[in-house]
Amino acid sequence: MAITAALPTAKERPRRTRTKRTSSLPALKLSQLLPSHIDLREPLKAVLVCEDCKTWCPITGMQSKVQKLVPHHTGKAGVADAVHCRGSNRRVVFDMTIPEWRQALADAITEASSRQATAVLPKAFSPQTDRTLQARAECTLAGRMADWGAVLPGVAAADKIRRAVPAGDAPTEGPAVPLAPRNVKAHEQRQAELGKQYAARKASTTSAA
């Protein structure tokens, strides 16, 4: 059985690199990034979120003229596949100082903490609905029985009117509805033709089977 080599995994991102290569992508300006995506608490170990793979990446060359992201893979070291990120060796422009970054981060935290979810207020009831709900809540079993007894005469009167038969011809079950065909001879002739057609279809079906 053939043995397949294991796929290489992502390597740990170094803190310092000696390569002189620089990415052709536009340089990253700190002022254009979110303050929360930058960490300058330890200036010599500064890190930021790579815009391509959206992961934290160290910045190399902090004591030199050119600062850039170290070469890195897109996934977590030792877990994900070794896929080279196109943001490797991308230049970083420090167009803001560390105090300015701290102030921007504090302002962002203050703004985020001041946001409150908008409370969804229930729709106000109309006065009539409010009175109805209040009366329903206060009504007892005896009160409901009394209310039902008060409307029983009206219900009985409505049922009596509904059952009354209007004047004139009766509904479909009445004698005014014709029960026999007007032209008996034509009706019988039509029934005979239908019988012949049915017999012919049945005979053709039987012969085909």
Average pLDDT, the chain: 82
DSSP class of residue 165 equals P
Cα–Cα distance measured from residue 106 to residue 98, given in angstroms and rounded to the nearest whole number: 12
pLDDT tens sequence across 153-206: 888 888 888 887 666 655 555 556 666 778 888 888 988 898 888 888 888 777
- pLDDT value, residue 209: 62
Three-state DSSP string of 91-122 = EEECCCCHHHHHHHHHHHHHHHHHCCCCCCCC
Q: What residues form DSSP beta bridges with 56?
A: 49
Cα–Cα distance measured from residue 149 to residue 141, given in angstroms and rounded to the nearest whole number: 12
- pLDDT value, residue 101: 92
Rounded to an integer, the average pLDDT of 39-52 is 90
Q: Angle at Cα 25 formed by Cα 22 and Cα 27, nearest 5°?
A: 80
pLDDT at residue 75 tops 70: yes
